[in-house]
Amino acid sequence: MLRAAATLTFCFALTAAFAAHALEPAVAAKPADGAATPALSATARAVSAGIVAGIRQGAQQDRNAKPAQLQCVRAIADDAVAAPVQEVIDASLGADDRAALETFYASALGAKYQAAMLANADPDKTFTPEEWAQAKATMESPAYRKLRAATVSANPLAAQKIGGVLNPLLGNCFKD
């Protein structure tokens, strides 16, 4: 379990700069008790996919990772931490910031941006100058800076909520 914790720490830190960069469609699962599932925003799905992508990249770069471990990490769903990310967003950002981010992440440009970031695409080859200017404006906005600050592992709430879901997933992948 110590290895899983070390991997989590490395991967979660690695994803800090990438946390809000990936949008994959996600369908929220119904809780076991039948209660209504809170709606997951495009912003939460984007952050979750970014975190998972960072974990996959970190595991791939781990020279000690075994093929079965890498396969296990690749199998983690892009929306695996979307629900706890949504909780962190709701607790940490005001309504105006959430709305501004959601406007971008739910847009066609936001989806294009997420796909490009996930693919490490060259912005000059992917976007028109106008599109890139719009995307950059969002990434340089106060709302985006608040989102990044809220969803990194240095934030105790993010560490508790998001890490609380990631720890068991990574523990399953990296048990020796």
Amino acid in position 7:
T
Residue 8 confidence (pLDDT) = 40
Q: Computed from CA positions of residues 160, 162, 168, 172, in that sequence, does the dihedral angle turn out positive or negative? A: negative
Averages of pLDDT over each 10 residues, the chain, 176 residues = 41 37 34 59 94 92 93 95 97 97 96 88 92 96 96 93 94 85
Q: Give me the numbers of helices (H) and strands (E) for the chain, helices first please.
A: 10, 0
Structural domain boundaries of the chain? 2-173
User: Cβ distance 11 to 153 under 8 Å?
Assistant: no
Output the pLDDT for position 24: 30
- The HSE-up count of residue 175 (CA atoms within 13 Å, CB side) is 5
The reported pLDDT for the residue numbered 107 is: 97
Give which of 18, 39, 9 is closest to 147, Cα–Cα.
18
pTM, two decimal places? 0.78
